[in-house]
A and B are shown apart, each in its own frame.
Chain A
Amino acid sequence: MKNPTTVERKSERELVVTRTFDGPATIVFEAWTKPELLQRWWVPKSFGMSFLSCEADVRTGGTYRFVFSHPDFDQPMAFFGRYIEVTPPSRIVWTNEESADGPVTTVTLEEKDGKTLLVLSELYPSKEALDEAIATGSTGTGAASEQFEQLDELLVTLV
Chain B
Amino acid sequence: MACAITETLELRRHRVLEASQSGHLRALHRRVILNQMVQYQCAQLDTSFAALSDATRRGVLERLAQADASITELAEKFHMTLTGMKKHVRVLEQAGLVVTEKVGRVRVCRLGSRRLEEEAEWIERYRRLWEARFDELDRVVDELKRERRVDDTRSGGKSVDAGENGK
Using CB atoms and an 8 Å cutoff, list the residues of chain A in contact with chain B: 2-10, 12, 15, 17, 19, 21-24, 27-28, 30-31, 37, 40-47, 118, 120, 127, 131, 134-135, 137-138, 142, 145
Contact = CB atoms under 8 A, between A and B. Distances in A.
A46 B132 contact: yes
Nearest to A138: B118
Given A4-B35, A17-B127, A131-B27, A41 B136 contact: yes
Contact of A44 (B27, B29, B132): B132
B27 to A, nearest CB: 7
Given A4-B35, A6-B34, A138 B121 contact: yes
Nearest to A28: B141
A27 B144 contact: yes
Nearest to A10: B31
B138 A22 contact: yes
A43 B129 CA distance: 9
Interface in B128-160: 129-142, 144-145, 148
Contacts of B35: 4, 6-8
B80 interface: no
Chain B binding surface, main DSSP class: helix
Contacts of A137: 122, 125-126
Contacts, number: 106
A2 B134 CA distance: 9
B141 A9 contact: no
Contacts of B131: 5, 19
Given A44-B129, A127-B29, A137-B122, A37 B136 contact: no
Interface of B: 26-27, 29-35, 118-119, 121-127, 129-142, 144-145, 148
B141 A27 contact: yes
Contact of A40 (B140, B145, B148): B140
A156 to B, nearest CB: 15
Contacts of A120: 130
A129 to B, nearest CB: 13
B30 to A, nearest CB: 8
Given A6-B34, A8-B33, A44-B132, A21 B125 contact: no
B34 A23 contact: no
20 contacts: A2-B135, A5-B127, A5-B134, A7-B35, A7-B124, A8-B35, A9-B31, A9-B119, A21-B137, A22-B141, A22-B142, A27-B144, A28-B141, A31-B137, A31-B144, A41-B140, A44-B135, A47-B132, A127-B29, A142-B122
